[in-house]
Structure 1
Amino acid sequence: MEKELRNLRKAMNSTTHQGIHFTEIQKEKIRNSLRQEIKNAKHKPSLRPYLITALAATLFILLFHQDINKSFFGGPNQGAEETIRDDRTKPEIDMVEEGSNTFVIEYGSDNMDRGNHDFQSIGRQLKPIVIKKTKEVMRGTIVYYKYPGDNVSFNPPDYYMGRVVGLPGETVEIIDGQVYVNDKKLESFYAKKTRSGQDMKTYLSHDLPHSSITEEDFKEDMGPIKVPQSAVFVLSDDWFRGTDSRHFGPLDISAIEGKVLGYLKEEINKVRQMDKISGGQIVEIVESINPYALKPAMTAEERYHLRQQIYKNLTLEEIAIVNEQIGTSSLLLTGIVADDLYKNLINQKDKKWTVLEVSDCYHVPEKLANAAKYVDYLPLLDDLNTVMKLCKEGVAERNVLKLIDAKRILQDVANHLIDVPYTGAGEGEVDYGEKHDQYFKASKALEGSHNLISE
């Protein structure tokens, strides 16, 4: 008996996720299983045959109820997958005014972006966001919450946003990038994995040359998670750009500071200034620089001879020191702007500035000073001295543009002079690799002048 029940439960669970009822093949398998069990029972005088008969009758009703109902009563939606539909939550963002129980924030993360810099206060326009102080939420509500702990692999913000998809007591599961709640498919604009508001088919149709996102990345799976009665399950609107309950589990309701009402109506068209330049303008400046659209002024052969000139009076040990110090420093500065971290540093009060101050910009000036002792090629020496100056001034002034300029100069030097192996004279002997694809035209050694965006 238990065996048949397990088989039935397994078959029903499978069909729920596939959006269909029992197939003819599945029905036949259950019939055969029952026939075999009844056949075996004939040789055992007990109540078992009667129980098997009762089970068979029950299974018959379960298996063929849909077919009977459709044949005799013409019932609607026969064979359709069970769903939970959220038609109440709209993708549009309301314009609202402050109230007696609200507060206003400026939000820097792009984890809620659906293709229009949604909810980002740092963007083409500053868009302050109105939050209502409440812990009463519904499915589809965007909540503003205190980030729960530090059990992820990056330094999270103190406060974050997420959209409620699972309510207290529900079970949430993700199959092929689609959210299911209590084994039912959730239907809404936020219930499927997207990138900047685009589904898999739309996003991949653009054939973006520098995107590493593949079809498999959209087909994310997560096993069933039971949401406690004191918690909710939250997701970012852009799963690629945010961390949420997929990573830290259900969010305790006590961590919720309030729910998002929309953009502040009175402030939407104002551009606030941060010192002499707004945060939005900084983002526009940085994003306008496309390092993949630029090429070095020198040919590969010219860069090879330049490398010979830089290293001609150095020992192999000294060359190794120069390479290591410049290469490591380039990686450290790249980390400051990687994954849009620089957007946090636009806020001069952000705690990451304290880390940069304590570490003297990750000790980059010290490392480059060690390399500069061996460099007598004046344009490269100027590059190193400029980077050291930008790092020190950038941290002292909390000027993120100076750190970005330092990164641009040093990354050009590392990508095209240090990290790429030159094994012989001439262009044909150069291993181009992927590093040659990125270039900022910021190095005096390579371009003859510095092109600084912080000036």
Structure 2
Amino acid sequence: MMVGCSFNASLETLTDNNTTPDVTIIENVEIDMITHHHMYDNMDRGNHDYFDKTLAIDTNIKVPEISRGDVVFFDNEAGEKDISRVVALPGEKFKITKGQIYINGKKLEAFYGTAHRVGLDMENYFKKMDNEGNEYDKKVMMEVFETSIKEINLSDDEYYLIGDDWLQSKMMILKEDKFIGKVVGYAK
């Protein structure tokens, strides 16, 4: 006799059809924008995205206008300026199970909804590294791809942020008063 096993995984998904991995080039930086030269690779999806680029940041954005998928500019806990992607919004519950983000029990289906390293998921990252004969710490990378965080309830003024490259980024809860603006693209 065979006994089936059940697992508690959500079949419902949450999609983000508005956010794309493409970064807009801003020809004219407007008066209510600032620029910032970003020198950290926490947002690298394989094309050195945002790294060593001058970013155009809209500082006139109101906090309620910040959406899931937005890249935001903020003061981090070390008092430095930083960027990262919004994945969970105020009042939401989120968790990460084996590298997959869940919001209010729904699987986040978006290019930023799972653990990535230089734009690659676990299977493709290990294939690429092994096929090219690259040296890397497989144990550390397994920990990145298997990241799990128990469910956390965000308060009405908190957002959850993650960089696109989970090895290089910090995952954090950020209070809305730390936001400086929204990254709208590369400044030309």
TM-score range (shorter-chain normalised) is 0.7 to 0.9
Partner of 1:132: 58
Distance 1:227 1:143 in 2: 18
Runs of at least 5 residues in structure 2 that lack an aligned partner in the other structure: 1-5
Distance 2:82 2:96 in 1: 22
Higher strand proportion, which one?
A: 2
In the TM superposition, residue 128 of structure 1 has moved relative to its aligned partner by 1.1
Distance 1:170 1:158 in 2: 27
Q: Deviations over 1:209-247 (max 9, x none)?
A: 4100346321111111111101111001101001121xx
Runs of at least 5 residues in structure 1 that lack an aligned partner in the other structure: 1-10, 20-80, 122-126, 150-156, 266-455
Q: How does 1:244-393 map to 2 (within 5 A)?
A: 244-245=171-172, 250-265=173-188
Between the two proteins, the alignment pairs up a number of residues equal to 174
Read off the aligned partner of 1:92 and give its amino acid letter. D
Backbone CA RMSD of aligned residues: 1.5
User: Could you list the runs of 4 or more consecutive aligned residues of structure 1 that deviate by over 3 angstroms after TM superposition?
Assistant: none
Q: How does 1:145-224 map to 2 (within 5 A)?
A: 145-149=74-78, 158-206=80-128, 207=130, 208-214=133-139, 216-217=142-143, 218-224=145-151
Distance 1:204 1:120 in 2: 23
Partner of 1:239: 166
TM-score, L = length of structure 2? 0.87
Tell me if the contact between 1:148 and 1:255 (Cα under 8 Å) persists in the aligned partners.
no
Read off the aligned partner of 2:187 and give its amino acid letter. L
Tell me if the contact between 1:148 and 1:251 (Cα under 8 Å) persists in the aligned partners.
no
Read off the aligned partner of 2:25 and give its amino acid letter. M
The correspondence for 2:34, drawn from 103, 114, 117, is: 103
Distance 1:209 1:159 in 2: 33
Tell me if the contact between 1:147 and 1:255 (Cα under 8 Å) persists in the aligned partners.
yes
Read off the aligned partner of 2:37 and give its amino acid letter. E
Read off the aligned partner of 1:108 and give its amino acid letter. M
Partner of 1:227: 154
Q: Deviations over 1:391-436 (max 9, x none)?
A: xxxxxxxxxxxxxxxxxxxxxxxxxxxxxxxxxxxxxxxxxxxxxx
Q: Deviations over 1:131-168 (max 9, x none)?
A: 0002330000000100025xxxxxxx711111000000
Higher helix proportion, which one?
A: 1
Distance 1:187 1:83 in 2: 6
Q: Deviations over 1:329-362 (max 9, x none)?
A: xxxxxxxxxxxxxxxxxxxxxxxxxxxxxxxxxx
TM-score, L = length of structure 1? 0.37
Read off the aligned partner of 2:135 and give its amino acid letter. H
Distance 1:99 1:231 in 2: 28
What SS is found at the alignment partner of 2:138? coil
Distance 1:163 1:242 in 2: 10
Higher relative contact order (CA 8 A, sep 6+): 2
Partner of 1:60: none
Tell me if the contact between 1:145 and 1:257 (Cα under 8 Å) persists in the aligned partners.
yes
Partner of 1:143: 72
Distance 1:179 1:244 in 2: 12
Distance 1:252 1:100 in 2: 26
